[in-house]
């Protein structure tokens, strides 16, 4: 591995983490992000970290990059113009969409669905139609394809999507249409990528398959331009190492693969933190964890078993369903910038989802913000000291107090008690999201440790751990750069799928085994193309299963040799999974919906620095005291400097722990201990 560099591009900062496998040393740095051109912030980060580590950029062996380019393009509507070829009678597929609406009951009253990424005027029907059983109702005509492609090229498209009816099971027409389309495009002197639904999302559900493939085309030219320019800029530094891109499922893929499947990177950013949290926690001896990442506008929550994040196969980005593997993350609009207000109708106190953002930000930032936020509340109750970022950022306590005055009058209390109510409510909101990620999925949160990271997470995590019973609460040494570390420990990943749609009682088991074998061959071939050594190859098999007429599938892993898997084993594994998630099983027919093979290329992992435990006395690490609200009264509590804490040291709450990129609150009735990896472990006092 030698020198591996992880780069996480955030909205405010670009975080970089460099690891030297020869010496075991690591370095980290933060540089300002450059939203107009992310590559500039990346290059600045590379130069800064190499200078800090006193190494040449040319000596880097791998560069692992998590990017928000595709996410931003979706959220801002800045993708490329796309043309769509579909089957006869399906021109409205993207406009019909599905029945999903955000928010509570009757939220659809004021919901304005986004415009499809392919407007109606750039969608063309082919005189082609195949049934679900493979019967050809309308045969594909090459001349029809040629005519429609020429027509679309005249509209100025930069990418082409082909999504034909039931192509997940019968892809021949799509492949033939793509061959004709590529000839027409080539003859026109253009270089336009063509995405096939049978390759991008070979699964049933017509709208989801169509929109996922269209999004892949929509993002393709954007991602291609960005990665090409970044590779060129890195070579000019010069960085000679190969560049790899982080996927939504936390895995890695080459630049070529990312340019071909940009939709697989739609949630690249959040995956790194979950990967990093799982790795740090596993090293500390905890392989069942809940991750809690709280930033300025939102909080992300995920669950990991056996040190591996839970993967989902459908997420939503900018209200569009994306059928691509991604780490299962529950997101709630609760962050440090979430705005508090009193409802005019009910008189009740509410927090979020509206946020003050980075500009002007919370009132305490002193940038002109006047609305009360969660960060302002933490200032008023004494959870945040007057300065942050090692003294580089002074907080405006008076501005925070002024922001809370109108709301406090409405509630009939003083400012600090109104602020404490805001803290309690935002904790309750985040607790609800944590329960969605655990209890509603048949998981007992008491069986899990809670790992907190992100700039604001440390202030609220102790309260959440106490409410859930999730101990210990683990605060990594550098919670602000955990995503970049997570990229360095990521494996190379991809997933291959085949639609099955058959009853378990009648499925041809030998044919199913053969199909799983073919998927495994595809997976291993892809790993070989990605440059993964054969001794690092691993393939995991999964069946998506459900009861007859059930609307959702459950992924069921098949362990061992798939060539010996039996009908009885598949049924038993499905029943176990259904019982765990829903609490019951039914005497009903079971169906197999999709076969999957996960390709995993194992990478060398970093070695976290391990130090012997010393004495428990931490009094020398107290650098000041802070007035903080305890049981309705202000008392003085100690403030600890995280950089001074050594393995073995411990202290009790209420206390504050300060470090450059985060602030940690330890509540009364809890004890914080520093482990041999410099993690802060917080548990209930005995």
User: Phi, psi at residue 474, to the nearest 5°?
Assistant: -110, 120
Give pLDDT tens digits for 164-215. 999 988 999 999 999 999 999 999 999 999 999 999 999 888 999 999 999 9
Contacts of 30 (CB under 8 A, 6+ apart): 13, 14, 15, 16, 480, 481, 661
State the pairing for strand pair 492-503/393-394: unpaired
Which of these CATH numbers, 3.30.750, 3.30.420, 3.60.21, 3.30.1490, describes 492-601? 3.30.1490
Residue 156, CA distances (Å) to 51, 119, 152 in order: 45, 13, 7
Give the number of other Cβ atoms within 10 Å of residue 28's Cβ: 21
Residue 391: pLDDT band (50, 70, 90) is low
| Concatenated DSSP letters of 576-633 | HHHHHHHS---SS-EEEEEEEEEEEE--PPP---------S--GGGEEEEEEEEETTE
Hey, what CATH topology would domain 287-471 get?
A: Nucleotidyltransferase; domain 5 (3.30.420)
Question: Which tokens sit at 330?
Answer: 């529950």
Q: Which of 450, 161, 68 is nearest to 293 (CA)?
A: 450
User: For a pLDDT cut of 90, what percent of the chain falls above it?
Assistant: 60
Cis status of the peptide bond prior to 654, with omega within 30 of 0? yes
Compute the chain's Rg from CA coordinates: 26
Give the number of other Cβ atoms within 10 Å of residue 676's Cβ: 16
Give the number of other Cβ atoms within 10 Å of residue 674's Cβ: 24
Residue 103, SS3? Answer: coil
Q: Which of 301, 328, 333, 305 is nearest to 316 (CA)?
A: 328
Domain ranges, ordered by start, for the chain: 1-269, 287-471, 492-601, 610-686
The DSSP code for 493 is E
Contacts of 133 (CB under 8 A, 6+ apart): none
Give pLDDT tens digits for 501-527. 889 999 999 999 999 999 999 999 999
Q: Which of 9, 30, 64, 8 is nearest to 239 (CA)?
A: 64
Question: What is the pLDDT, as a whole number, of residue 480?
Answer: 81
Residue 476: pLDDT band (50, 70, 90) is very high
Q: Are residues 467 and 672 in contact, defined by beta-carbon separation less than 8 angstroms?
A: no
Instruction: Give the angle subtended at the CA of 236 by the CAs of 232 and 238, to the nearest 5°.
Output: 115
Strand runs labelled E in 82-158: 82-86, 123-125, 129-130, 136-138
Strand runs labelled E in 236-280: 242-246, 252-254
Instruction: Give the angle subtended at the CA of 164 by the CAs of 154 and 594, to the nearest 5°.
Output: 140
Q: Report the mean per-residue pLDDT for the chain.
A: 89
Question: Which tokens sit at 513?
Answer: 């085994």
Residue 377: pLDDT band (50, 70, 90) is very high
Question: What is the pLDDT, as a whole number, of residue 72?
Answer: 80
Cis status of the peptide bond prior to 360, with omega within 30 of 0? yes
Section 106-126 average pLDDT? 81
Q: What is the spatial distance between Cα 516 and Cα 501, in angstroms, rounded to a whole number?
A: 14
Question: What is the pLDDT, as a whole number, of residue 105?
Answer: 55
Lowest mean pLDDT among 74-78, 128-132, 149-153: 74-78
Section 106-123 average pLDDT? 79
């Amino acid at each position: 591995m030698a020198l591996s560099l992880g780069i996480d591009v955030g909205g405010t900062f670009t975080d970089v983490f460099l690891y030297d496998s020869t010496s075991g040393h690591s370095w980290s740095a933060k540089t300002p992000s450059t939203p107009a051109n992310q590559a500039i912030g990346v290059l600045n980060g590379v130069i800064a970290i190499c200078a800090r580590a006193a190494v040449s950029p040319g000596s880097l062996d791998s560069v692992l990059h998590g990017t928000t380019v595709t996410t931003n393009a979706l959220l801002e509507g800045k993708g490329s113009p796309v043309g769509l070829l579909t089957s006869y009678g399906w021109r409205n597929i993207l406009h019909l969409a599905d029945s999903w609406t955000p928010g509570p009951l009757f939220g659809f009253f004021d919901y304005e669905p986004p415009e499809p990424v392919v407007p109606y005027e750039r969608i063309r029907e082919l005189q082609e139609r195949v049934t679900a059983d493979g019967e050809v109702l309308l045969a594909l005509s090459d001349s029809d394809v040629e005519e429609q492609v020429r027509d679309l090229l005249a509209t100025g498209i930069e990418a082409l999507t082909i999504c034909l009816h039931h192509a997940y099971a019968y892809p021949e027409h799509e492949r033939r249409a793509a061959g004709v389309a590529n000839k027409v495009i080539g003859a026109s002197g253009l270089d336009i990528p063509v995405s096939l639904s049978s390759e991008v999302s070979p699964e049933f559900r017509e709208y989801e398959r169509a929109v996922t493939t269209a999004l892949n085309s929509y993002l393709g030219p954007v991602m291609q331009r960005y990665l090409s320019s970044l590779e060129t800029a890195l070579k000019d530094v010069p960085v000679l190492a190969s560049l790899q891109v982080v996927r939504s499922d936390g895995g890695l893929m080459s630049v070529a693969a990312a340019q071909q499947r940009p939709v697989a990177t739609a949630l690249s950013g959040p995956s790194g933190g979950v990967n990093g949290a799982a790795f740090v926690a596993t090293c500390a001896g905890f392989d069942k964890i809940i991750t809690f990442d709280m930033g300025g506008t939102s909080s992300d929550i995920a669950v990991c078993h056996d040190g591996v994040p839970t993967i989902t196969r459908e997420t939503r980005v900018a209200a569009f369903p994306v059928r691509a593997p991604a780490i299962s993350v529950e997101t709630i609009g609760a962050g440090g910038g979430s705005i508090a207000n009193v409802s005019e109708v009910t008189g009740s106190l509410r927090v979020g989802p509206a946020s003050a953002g980075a500009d002007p930000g919370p009132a305490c930032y002193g940038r002109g913000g006047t609305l009360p936020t969660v960060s302002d509340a933490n200032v008023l109750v004494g959870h945040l000291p007057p300065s942050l970022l090692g003294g580089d950022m002074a907080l405006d306590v008076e501005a925070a107090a002024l922001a809370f005055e109108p709301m406090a009058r409405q509630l009939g209390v003083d400012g600090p008690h109104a602020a404490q109510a805001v803290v309690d409510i935002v904790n309750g909101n985040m607790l609800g999201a944590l329960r969605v990620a655990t209890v509603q999925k048949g998981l007992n949160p008491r069986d899990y440790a809670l790992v907190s990271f992100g700039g604001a997470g440390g202030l609220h995590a102790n309260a959440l751990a106490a409410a859930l019973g999730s101990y210990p609460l683990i605060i990594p040494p550098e919670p602000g750069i955990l995503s970049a570390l997570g990229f360095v420990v990521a494996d190379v990943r991809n997933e291959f799928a085949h639609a099955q749609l058959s009853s378990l009682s009648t499925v041809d088991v030998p044919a199913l085994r053969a199909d799983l074998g073919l998927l495994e061959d595809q997976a291993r071939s892809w790993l070989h193309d990605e440059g993964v050594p054969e001794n690092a190859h691993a393939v995991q098999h999964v069946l998506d299963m459900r009861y007859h007429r059930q609307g959702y599938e459950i992924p069921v892993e098949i362990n061992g040799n798939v060539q010996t898997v039996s009908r009885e084993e598949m049924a038993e594994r499905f029943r176990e999974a259904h019982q765990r998630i829903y609490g019951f099983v039914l005497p009903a027919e079971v169906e197999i919906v999709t076969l999957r093979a996960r390709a995993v290329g194992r990478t060398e992992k970093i070695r976290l620095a391990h130090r012997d435990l010393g004495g428990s006395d931490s009094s020398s690490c107290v650098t000041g005291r802070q007035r903080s609200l305890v049981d309705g009264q202000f008392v003085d509590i100690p403030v600890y400097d995280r950089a001074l804490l050594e393995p073995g040291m411990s202290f009790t709450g209420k206390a504050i722990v300060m470090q450059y990129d985060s602030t940690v609150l330890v509540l009364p009735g809890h004890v914080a201990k520093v482990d041999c990896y410099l993690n802060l472990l917080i548990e209930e006092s005995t």
